Amino acid sequence: MSSGATLSDAQLRDEYNPFLSMAKGFDQAADILGLDEGLREVLRQPERELKVAMPILMDDGTVKVFTGYRVQHNFLRGPCKGGIRFSPDVNLDEVRALSAWMTWKCSVVNLPFGGAKGGVICDPRELSQGELERLTRRYTVAIMDILGPDRDVPAPDMNTGEQTMAWIMDTYSMHVRRTTTAIVTGKPLALGGSRGRREATGRGVMIAANKALQLTGDRPEDTRVIVQGAGNVGGVAALLMHREGYKVTSISDMYGAIHNETGLDMPAVMAWMRDHGRLTGFPDAAEVSHSDQLELDCDLLIPAATENQITSLNADRIKAKLIVEGANGPTTAIASSMLHDRGVVIVPDILANAGGVTVSYFEWVQDRMGYFWTEEIVNSRLEQIMIDAFNEVVKTAEEHKVSLRTAAYILSIDRVASVYRLRGIFA
């Protein structure tokens, strides 16, 4: 398939459905592993889905009802783990897919967690701080029966952060009548957060990029990088990679992208964004559209914004020879196959962006034992886990002669399936 134009509208809808995209990756790996149909059915489906309606008193005195979800995909290896996002685009299929990806992500880096994900349909830009707090606390109460340090531990995701986690922790703690710091991760340091957590996903992306260059035989100083997204993933990765010698030529936020073929001064770019609230207007850089940015000439592309950015409609125009996925599901299953057939190396999301959940695991461990590590220890342990996981995925890919994405699925699914066989079926 050379162009998405050959797909019907129904086929395009299926391509953009993140749960179906996840299922395709799962099925490819399951075929190679020879999983029987019963076990496939167990591992493919979420174990629990909760939909809640939340009436919120708005600042103008009106009441508005918001919809929220929490999907727990799998409990076999330990408590569920996964972020909560606030976005107008949240839907159940998206949350289902993200919860499953969390299961495979935790497994591929060998953490004792299952996967979960949550979301609230809202536009945080249209809500005041007070409305956001009331919405967060009401959402916490609505899903509280399935939360707990040994049951389900949320974390930040799109449009949520340390303050959101602080509100969740406080709401949960007030209801159980004791301070329970291990109920969430990604908290402020003063509330039991971990040093290095804010930068962890971006740092993990950089570590994955460094390892990938070893596969392609390239050097950071010879590598032109395009980063889609300038938040805690893309922005941090771009800044860290700039310090490592990579030439970051383009970066984007929700308003647009900037580009300079000779390389951007990333500390100056991030300072500009902090001062102006957006990247546009940054001097010594051209402004380009989101769609054009992905198709710029580069060596390494890091999609670190949201899912379904590289699809059958634009895959044949992607010029990067290496893609490291900072976001969850940024490349559709069809586009991934198209790029693999062209020889493009893709470090999949469940490996490349696993730095965040790895340091979330560190935070959970530190909260439970009441002893906290230095940032040097956190970063050192993160790097070791990411390198070990990367090496295992590469070894699996070589053994089965498959892409890194399929290899990551094989490794992670096999670990979960092995636990299932050991535990058996409770009756």
Query: From residue 404, how far is each of 52, 80, 397 by CA, in Å?
Result: 37, 25, 6
Selection from 286, 282, 287 nearest residue 265 by Cα: 282
Task: Report residue 65's pLDDT band, with 50, 70 and 90 as the boundaries.
Answer: very high
Which of 1-15, 132-146, 205-219 has the weakest average pLDDT? 1-15
Report the DSSP pairing between strands 80-87 and 322-324. unpaired
Q: Any idea what DSSP says for residue 221? A: G
Query: From residue 239, how far is each of 231, 270, 277, 336, 378 by CA, in Å?
Result: 11, 8, 17, 27, 19
**pLDDT over 90 (residue 206):** yes
- What is the pLDDT, as a whole number, of residue 1? 45
> Could you report the per-residue pLDDT of 376-421, keeping only the tens digit for each?
999 999 999 999 999 999 999 999 999 999 999 999 999 999 999 9
Share of the chain above pLDDT 70, in %: 98
Say if residues 117 and 82 touch (Cβ distance below 8 Å).
yes
- What is the pLDDT, as a whole number, of residue 250? 98
d(CA 15, CA 128): 35
- What is the pLDDT, as a whole number, of residue 3? 44
Q: Is 117 annotated as catalytic?
A: yes
Structure-block tokens of residue 121 = 């349909």
Say if residues 295 and 314 touch (Cβ distance below 8 Å).
yes
HSE-CB at 381 with a 13 A cutoff on CA atoms is: 19
d(CA 263, CA 285): 9
**pLDDT over 70 (residue 49):** yes
**pLDDT over 90 (residue 236):** yes
Task: Report residue 6's pLDDT band, with 50, 70 and 90 as the boundaries.
Answer: low
**pLDDT over 50 (residue 2):** no
| Virtual torsion, Cα 319, 324, 329, 334, nearest 10 deg | 40
* Beta partners for residue 152, in sequence order: 80, 148
Say if residues 35 and 51 touch (Cβ distance below 8 Å).
no
Say if residues 268 and 261 touch (Cβ distance below 8 Å).
no
The catalytic position among 105, 117, 211, 247 is 117
Determine the straight-line distance between the first and last CA of the chain, rounded to whole angstroms. 47
- What is the pLDDT, as a whole number, of residue 13? 84
**pLDDT over 90 (residue 8):** no
pLDDT, the chain, mean: 95
Q: Which CATH class is domain 47-191?
A: alpha beta
Residue spans per domain, the chain: 47-191, 200-352
**pLDDT over 60 (residue 166):** yes
**pLDDT over 60 (residue 218):** yes
* Beta partners for residue 259, in sequence order: 250, 286
Task: Report residue 21's pLDDT band, with 50, 70 and 90 as the boundaries.
Answer: confident
Q: Any idea what DSSP says for residue 148? A: B
- What is the pLDDT, as a whole number, of residue 247? 98
Beta strands in 254-406 (DSSP E): 256-259, 286-288, 300-303, 322-324, 345-347
Structure-block tokens of residue 359 = 């340091």
- What is the pLDDT, as a whole number, of residue 4? 44
Q: Any idea what DSSP says for residue 331? A: B
Task: Report residue 18's pLDDT band, with 50, 70 and 90 as the boundaries.
Answer: confident
Is CATH 3.40.50.720 the classification given to domain 200-352?
Answer: yes
Q: Backbone phi, then psi, for 386, in 5-degree steps?
A: -65, -40
Could you give the residue ranges of the DSSP H alpha helices within 144-253?
162-176, 200-216, 234-243
**pLDDT over 90 (residue 59):** yes
d(CA 68, CA 51): 6
Amino acid at 32: I
Domains 47-191 and 200-352 share a fold: yes
Report the DSSP pairing between strands 224-228 and 247-253. parallel
| Virtual torsion, Cα 19, 20, 23, 25, nearest 10 deg | -110
d(CA 76, CA 115): 10
d(CA 160, CA 133): 11
- What is the pLDDT, as a whole number, of residue 11? 81
Say if residues 204 and 352 touch (Cβ distance below 8 Å).
yes
Quick check: helix, strand or coil at residue 64?
Answer: strand
> Could you report the per-residue pLDDT of 261-317, keeping only the tens digit for each?
999 999 999 999 999 999 999 998 999 999 999 999 999 999 999 889 999 999 999
Could you give the residue ranges of the DSSP H alpha helices within 299-374?
333-341, 349-352, 355-369
